Amino acid sequence: MHLKPSRKTYTKVFWSYLVILLFTIIAAVVLQIATNEAKLIWFLALMLNLPLWIIILPLNLLWIKKLSYEINAKNITIYKGIISKTEQNINFTKITDFQLHRSLFDRWLAIASVRIQTAGQAANNSSGYEGVLVGMENWQEIYPDLKNKINDEKPEAEEPENISEKILEELQKIRALMEKSQ
């Protein structure tokens, strides 16, 4: 199954930047009222927001456009990157759990992110997750499916009695070998 983030993810990013702009304007108004440095305050507000809207927002939107996921029987592959491309394969046998994340904007737009947890998560990953499926519109179907796949892929644990019996058999073989060598 090949997936891409929902187009609503673009809306989420746009609204996030609008909130940052709104807080900057409110802070500028409050500072202007508190001080008489109107020109300096509005200049700083402009200098904070201009790079966000001209550079960072288009890069974020391009990053989302290039993001895709492939889920098959054995693993999840995340394709990402603008200049340098990354193909991240996460095997279902290594996955310990999935976490569903829905921010305020996610709930408003009916999308979610599925965070992938593994036992030995990437040391260079500061998020604490091996991978994230961002902007999933049909998360109600995908999330339970993924949970079932990790349960299906886990090897069945042996019964404690079987393990004890196997250990006893091995110990008896070792004892027999030691008695022969004496």
What tens digit of pLDDT does each residue of 16-70 get?
A: 999 999 999 998 888 888 887 788 888 888 998 999 899 999 999 999 999 999 9
Q: What is the pLDDT of residue 142?
A: 86
Q: What is the pLDDT of residue 160?
A: 58
Domain 69-153 architecture: Roll (2.30)
The C-alpha atoms of residue 160 and residue 163 are separated, in whole angstroms, by 5
- Phi, psi (degrees; rounded to nearest 5) at 101: -125, 130
Average pLDDT, the chain: 86
Domain edges within the chain: 6-66, 69-153
What tens digit of pLDDT does each residue of 129-151 get?
A: 888 999 999 888 888 888 888 76
Q: What is the pLDDT of residue 23?
A: 93
Q: How does 67-82 read in b/e, with b if 16+ C-beta sit within 10 Å?
A: bebebeeebbbbebee
